[in-house]
Structure 1
């Protein structure tokens, strides 16, 4: 059994009365964890209030307050690759993560995630990711190191004031007739829940895509993200007919297989640039990781 060294947090949302028991709320909020497991955690004092006090089975549901809990998994995979810290000051940390490492805890990953590795490495338990990339994607992730200034950096992403550049290696079957595309569409949650899909309606995902070069059955792409929806690039490239190498989710969901570190998704969050909201200085960071493209 692996238990997280750091607590996770869930907000009890504002809902109409009658309020549910907290046990019912947690069971519905996290359907992959059965009710009996949540009951055992509560009875063992493993679910806490914001003040750090253990709750009981009869603790009342209180809207807009938070509960803390410690994630547990029976067996956690070990990710044998190391992240790099590229920059760190009193307000911001910039890290470059390897393929296969999730940014935050999720599924079978508790301590093997970028957030908890960085907390351990820096000793800063208030670290919080400002942006996220897929577990399968390598590259740059920004973290707030100071809760007091966190909102200033989050606003950069909310207001699209960050330049994000990706590289991808895709399958290639012949001359496309075009080299540059701007893809705009609406991305929503698909089925199963971890898969996204394109839907009619107001666009919420925009990518500027350029084919850099081709070689045999491969193509190298440079992509600028205007927005940052989950799996956006994977969907957009696949939709153009260029599925990313080693993508088991798009365009077709492949059968689950044992974790194989020899076939990483060929997608890299390569560069990120922005004007620092505190210093007003231009900041730019680049990854030195590489994809399976050799000149």
Structure 2
């Protein structure tokens, strides 16, 4: 592991390549040749024994190569990742808005997992669940690989209780509290979800905590964990969460982050029965939503 980032690997199948470089050039066509050459020259691509590989090395099939993924010009997230709790098995953090939970796509070092591994010098840390990059709040990690399975099973068996807060428009004609159930599907070719006909696979309990003019402070309690579930359910009710750039899905989306207008969605608390002690564990965020003062003009 380097700088909190785990190595990735690629298998070398039988093929016509004469040299290792020929294989890499075809396997990673999106990477410019000079970057591949530089990474080989630096020793950033190794075999299973950790030996640095050369570009002109004869290709040998049925082996693995290990490498460290790079994201050029990765934008920094200027917000703190605070550790709320830590013991030998669990770590709870307050993830800020705009910080991805785990590496993926265009985010590698600016993620909660990478930061935490580097900050605590603990490469074995692994995520228990995830939050959207735009969502802030409590995020759990496991510090003991041998105990991760037991904690992970709590999520799979729905023994984990999650509480969220959100600012969204007030609707006088909406009878609250309510429970929204629907069938969620991914929109083909896009990073969004939609409600569709079918057996419900998502459920969210929604209630109002306070009202401020045309806006309301909502409490959301999901019993399932579908991608973008809270955002889709709120949008379907006509109360799209403040500063949501993805919903409604037919709106023109600005792909550039506006750090002054974070999504007004916070993972306030998480609770579950500890599989080893039997005690109820509860972790609560110390962050606060800014509320309607950061609502975009289009909302």
Verify same fold: TM over 0.5. yes
Contact 1:23/1:38 (<8 A) preserved:
no
Cα displacement (A) at 1:60: 3.5
Aligned residues: 280
Secondary structure at the counterpart of residue 257 of structure 2:
coil
- Contact 2:192/2:246 (8 A) holds in 1: yes
- Give the structure 2 partner of residue 224 of structure 1: 221
Matches of 1:139 and 1:73 in 2, distance apart? 25
Shift of 1:239: 0.6
Matched, 1:176 2:173: yes
Indicate the RMSD between aligned Cα atoms, in angstroms: 3.0
Structure 1 residue 199 and structure 2 residue 196: aligned? yes
Residues 1:212 and 2:213 aligned together: no
Residue 100 of structure 1 and its aligned partner are, at CA, apart by 1.0
Aligned-partner SS, 1:119: helix
Contact 1:39/1:57, CA 8 A, preserved across alignment: no
- Seen in structure 2, the aligned counterparts of structure 1 residues 154 and 5 have a Cα distance that, compared at 3 Å, is closer
For each residue in 1:207-227, what CA deviation from the matched residue of structure 2 results, as whole angstroms up to 9, or x when unmatched? 111122322221111111111
Q: Work out whether 1:90 is the aligned partner of 2:91.
A: no
SS class of match (2:185): strand
CA pair 87-35 structure 1, distance change in 2 beyond 3 A: same
Worse-matched range after superposition: 183-192 or 156-165: 183-192
1:123 to 118, 121, 124: 121
Map 1:1-295 onto structure 2 (within 5 A). Answer: 5-9=4-8, 27=28, 33-34=30-31, 40=37, 43=40, 45-48=43-46, 52=50, 58-60=59-61, 68-172=66-170, 174-252=171-249, 253-293=251-291
2:246·2:253 contact (CA, 8 Å) conserved in 1? no
Alpha-carbon distance between aligned partners in 2 of 1:20 and 1:187, rounded to the nearest angstrom: 44
CA change 1:189–1:103 in 2 (3 A) is: same
Runs of 5+ in structure 1 lacking a partner?
none
SS in 1 for 2:153: helix
Cα distance in 1 for partners of 2:260, 2:31 equals 34
TM-score in terms of structure 1 length: 0.82
Counterparts in 2 of 1:205 and 1:35: CA distance versus 1, 3 Å: farther
Query: Structure 2: which 5+ residue stretches go unaligned?
Result: 18-22, 293-299
